Amino acid sequence: MHMKTKYTMFRRNGIYYSQDSATGQQKSLRTRDEADALQLLNARNEAHRQPVLNLHLARAYLTASDPAFVERTWQTVMAQLQARGKDSSRERYASVFKSPSFDGLRNKKLLETTADDFFAVFKENKVAITYFLKRLHNFALNLGWIALPIVAPYLWPKYEPKDRRGITLDEHQNVLAKEKQAEWKLYLELLWETGAAQSDAANFKAEDIDWQTRTISYFRQKTGSLAQFTISQKLETVLSHLPTTGPLFPNLSTWSESDRASRFRRRCHKAGVTGVTLHCYRYAWAERAKVVGMPERFAQAALGHNSKAIHRAYAKKAVIIAPSLEDYEKKAAALQPAVTA
């Protein structure tokens, strides 16, 4: 197996130098003795040769078992990963992997990737990019496309997720005041009254509504779990302005999740509202439910079982101030049957 010599040697002003045949970089060998210079040069070439030889041997073995193995790039892994799961997940992967943060890895062959390639991404200190890079790495590992972890688990950056909150009533009203499109105003009102996830709400259909029982039932796109809740008077007012057949939001239902999020972000900016997203309507509903004392099982039924918004709100969010015991005693006394003489 022939490999091009990495370093060559030349002499300048009596001093011997090595030159990298790939980059042209020159470095002094710090000797005038030709024998010593040759020994140093051979040592450098041997140090470079062994890893390259190991890589060539690995290529030969792997090509025999899987011809595509040595040619796979991280773009191949990205394409495979974003072809899986629900539409919302595919859309999210496709959007994230377009980021310039992945450009350094995109066309890099898996077999030639080192930890330094990943550390270069870590330096950008972008939480979301690191999160999806880890998914990408683990996906390739699970597929057997990389034999060992490129970065050990304990070397991945640690981060604390942001403490999310619900949108307040004042913020909601301020955003509504800046919203001019009727469909969007009704959409935001529906989010406030139902706590539905933005994609679920945008895809509500008139057929999801049962006016006889005054309930709305639907299966969540993210988890597939059933969500059911009673139609309140305020929600009835909102629904009365929406179509009675087909999609409740004919236009919004055709938008992508990211496009709806971007538009809401712009409206928030105009309204002077910061730190919230469309998903904050879901947190707000869960927090309001806890404040008024709605049992967790009812809140779960309304938002869908295994809802993270409910778990978060009922675990540590929404401070509840207990009423006085006197208030309860008065209510109890009022419920006692009157004593007849």
How large is the average pLDDT for residues 26-53? 80
Q: Work out the average pLDDT over 161-180.
A: 89
How far is residue 37 CA from its own chain's centroid? 55
pLDDT (0 to 100) of residue 3: 55
284 near 168, Cβ under 8 Å?
A: yes
Q: What confidence score (pLDDT) does residue 138 get?
A: 93
47, pLDDT greater than 80: no
Under CATH, which number does the domain 70-155 receive? 1.10.150
Task: Give 117's pLDDT tier (boundaries 50, 70, 90).
Answer: very high
What is the mean predicted confidence (pLDDT) over 184-193?
96
Sequence-distant contacts of 315-324: CB under 8 A, at least 24 apart? 317/165, 317/166, 317/283, 317/286, 317/287, 317/290, 318/286, 318/287, 318/288, 318/290, 318/291, 320/290, 320/291, 320/293
Strands (E), 23-124: 26-28
User: Taking 60 as the threshold, does the pLDDT of residue 61 lie above it?
Assistant: no
Q: Is pLDDT at 58 greater than 60 in this prediction?
A: no
Give bridge partners of residue 17 from the DSSP assignment.
10, 28
Residue 318: its pLDDT value, please? 46
* Statement: residue 328 has pLDDT above 80: no
Report the CATH number of the 171-278 domain.
1.10.443.10
What does the pLDDT read at residue 1? 46
Q: Tell me, what's the pLDDT at 321?
A: 53
- List Cβ neighbours of 341 (8 Å cut-off, separation of 6 or more): none
- Domain residue ranges of the chain, discontinuous segments joined by +: 7-65, 70-155, 171-278
Mean pLDDT of 270-275: 93
Q: Per-residue pLDDT averaged across 233-238, rounded?
A: 94
Query: Do the domains 171-278 and 70-155 match in fold?
Result: no
pLDDT of residue 194: 93
